[in-house]
Amino acid sequence: MLRNIVIICTIFAAGLIFGVLFFWGFLKKYIKYRDMARSFGLEFFPVGDHRVVAVKFLKNVTGGDAEFWAEVTIIARMHHLNVVRLWGFCAEKGQRILVYEHVPNGSLDKYLFPTSQILSLDKQEVINPRSTDSLKPILDWNIRYRIALNVARVIVYLHEECLEWVLHCDIKLENILLGDDFCLKISDFG
């Protein structure tokens, strides 16, 4: 009888100690993430203002927490007109999610290269997709020049003016996004 009471008390004490240690670890991690989000101004993500956001789910993050937090830290410190703004993030239960501002016109590649040509089945001729009104407009040379100039400005900012030296290494047409007035935003730093 005394032996059973000792075993039950030992199991209860071990469970209690495990629970306290688990709660302490959770609280420590929560405070770390909360303080980091607060320092970047990301703690209070506005809800209910009907903003459209772009959400990036990171899968198979090989570097673990250190690489993810380094990326969040670097992106959150960038403040340039032509860099996509990070509005928030999630790092819970193995999920790594980044929330960016939405850039409505999509990537530059859609404006420079048509995705497909429309084939008329009865005439068997290829119709130029740029002639249809439903497709996106062709960029004139003034807009192309402005885009090239702004890409150069972003690269200068990342390499020389940013608080931390950043080498993008993946600037391509898919990572150059166009806003409403064809103001570009560089994205995808991971």
If one counts the domains in the chain, the total is 1
Question: pTM here?
Answer: 0.60
Could you list the residue range(s) of the whole structural domain that residue 66 is in?
Answer: 49-186
- pLDDT value, residue 112: 80
For the residues 4-23, what does the mean pLDDT come to?
Answer: 92
Average the pLDDT over 104-109 and give the result.
Answer: 87
Give Cβ neighbours of residue 65 (< 8 Å, ≥ 6 apart): 91
138 occurs within a structural domain: yes
What pLDDT shows up at residue 117? Answer: 40
In a domain, 122, yes or no: yes
Say if 9 falls within a structural domain.
Answer: no
The string of pLDDT tens digits covering residues 135-182 is 555 788 888 899 999 999 988 888 888 777 777 777 888 889 998 888
Beta carbons of 139 and 178 less than 8 angstroms apart: no
Give the CATH number of the domain where residue 115 resides: 1.10.510.10
Instruction: Band the pLDDT of 126: cuts 50, 70, 90.
Output: very low
Of the two residues 171 and 126, the one the predictor is more confident about is 171
pLDDT in tens, 34-91: 776 666 555 555 557 677 888 888 776 655 677 677 778 778 878 888 888 888 888 7
Cβ within 8 Å of residue 128, ≥6 positions away: 117
| DSSP-derived pairing of the beta strands 96-101 and 118-120 | unpaired
Is 39 inside a domain boundary?
Answer: no
Residue 67 inside a domain? The answer is: yes
pLDDT band at 15 (very low <50, low <70, confident <90, very high): very high
The whole-angstrom separation of Cα 74 and Cα 94 is 21
| 38: in domain | no
Q: Is the pLDDT of residue 133 over 50?
A: no
Gap between the Cα atoms of 88 and 44, Å rounded: 9
Domain assignment present for 157: yes
> Is the residue at 143 inside a domain?
yes
Q: What is the pLDDT of residue 58?
A: 76
**Identified catalytic residue from 170, 180, 181, 188:** 170
Query: For this structure, is 188 an active site residue?
Result: no
**Does residue 39 or residue 110 have the better pLDDT?**
110
